[in-house]
């Protein structure tokens, strides 16, 4: 058999589908090429604020002497990304640092969800915000009557509000209630943190404009 010339290769790949399949890269080679291209592409950050967060975390881990692997989670790419969705690039997520001291406190109750109690420590004052009860942060929402009626078919009078009939369902409901209370405390602390962050952002804006904080909510011009 004669060897194919360069012109013949071009002709075969453009007109003969069978020859094109033979001359083209295999599936494994194609996947290797896609992996190499993915590694060569620069990592994309979702937004400037996230990039600033990574910079602050970098300084914080150095100051606190925390280990940080900075593992990057590259989004999987499909076969259409290179062929039809050339501009379709998902942002790269970077794992944030882990705080061992916080893990030590959480681990005390994390493995005992049935027997652990929700304590109101003195620092829970940060989670005591206005309107917690009115906004439903302190208790689980009542079980929907449709669900309760479905679970208690034939065991509850139609004149009474349906309730959970069996002990396992009641225990599960109480555990869900405990989870809601714990989540409510976290949401309360999040409100406090959000207020402080919003206030800090305004102070930084004023600092950029040449104003300084004068105390008791007042500002003064810098000299």
How long is the chain? 223
Q: Is pLDDT of 117 > 80? A: no
Residues 132 and 138 sit within 8 Å (Cβ to Cβ)? yes
Q: Which two tokens stand for residue 71?
A: 């593992």
Rounded Cα distance, 46 and 73, in Å: 12
Rounded Cα distance, 200 and 52, in Å: 16
Pick the closest to residue 55 from 91, 65, 45 (CA basis).
45
Give per-residue pLDDT as tens, 185-214: 888 888 888 888 889 888 888 888 886 555
- pTM for this entry: 0.45
Neighbours of 185 (CB within 10 A): 20
How would residue 4 be classed by pLDDT, with cut points 50, 70 and 90?
very low
Give residue 13's pLDDT: 42
Rounded Cα distance, 179 and 16, in Å: 64
Q: What secondary structure letter does DSSP report for 93? A: E
How would residue 109 be classed by pLDDT, with cut points 50, 70 and 90?
confident
Give residue 176's pLDDT: 79
- pLDDT above 90 covers a percentage of the chain that reads 2
How would residue 113 be classed by pLDDT, with cut points 50, 70 and 90?
low
**Which three-class secondary structure state does DSSP give residue 221?**
strand
Q: Is pLDDT of 223 > 60? A: no
Lowest mean pLDDT among 3-7, 119-123, 204-208: 3-7
Give residue 119's pLDDT: 56
Give residue 159's pLDDT: 54
Pick the closest to residue 136 from 188, 173, 172, 193 (CA basis).
188
């Amino acid at each position: 058999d004669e060897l194919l010339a360069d012109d013949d290769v071009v002709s075969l790949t453009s007109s003969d589908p069978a020859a094109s399949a033979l001359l083209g890269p295999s599936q494994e080679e194609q996947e290797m090429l896609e992996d190499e291209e993915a590694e060569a592409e620069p990592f994309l950050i979702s937004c400037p604020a996230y990039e600033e967060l990574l910079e602050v975390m970098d300084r914080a881990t150095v100051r606190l002497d925390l280990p940080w692997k900075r593992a990057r989670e590259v989004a999987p790419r499909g076969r259409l990304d290179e062929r039809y969705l050339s501009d379709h690039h998902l942002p790269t997520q970077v794992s944030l640092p882990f705080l061992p001291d916080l893990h030590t406190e959480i681990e005390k109750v994390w493995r005992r969800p049935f027997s652990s109690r929700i304590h109101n420590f003195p620092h829970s004052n940060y989670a005591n915000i206005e309107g917690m009860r009115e906004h439903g942060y302190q208790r689980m929402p009542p079980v929907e009557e449709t669900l309760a009626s479905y679970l208690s078919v034939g065991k509850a009078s139609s004149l009474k509000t349906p309730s959970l009939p069996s002990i396992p369902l009641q225990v599960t409901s109480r555990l869900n209630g405990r989870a809601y209370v714990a989540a409510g405390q976290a949401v309360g602390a999040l409100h406090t943190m959000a207020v402080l962050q919003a206030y800090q952002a305004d102070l930084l804006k004023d600092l950029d404009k040449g104003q300084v904080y004068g105390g008791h909510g007042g500002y003064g011009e810098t000299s």
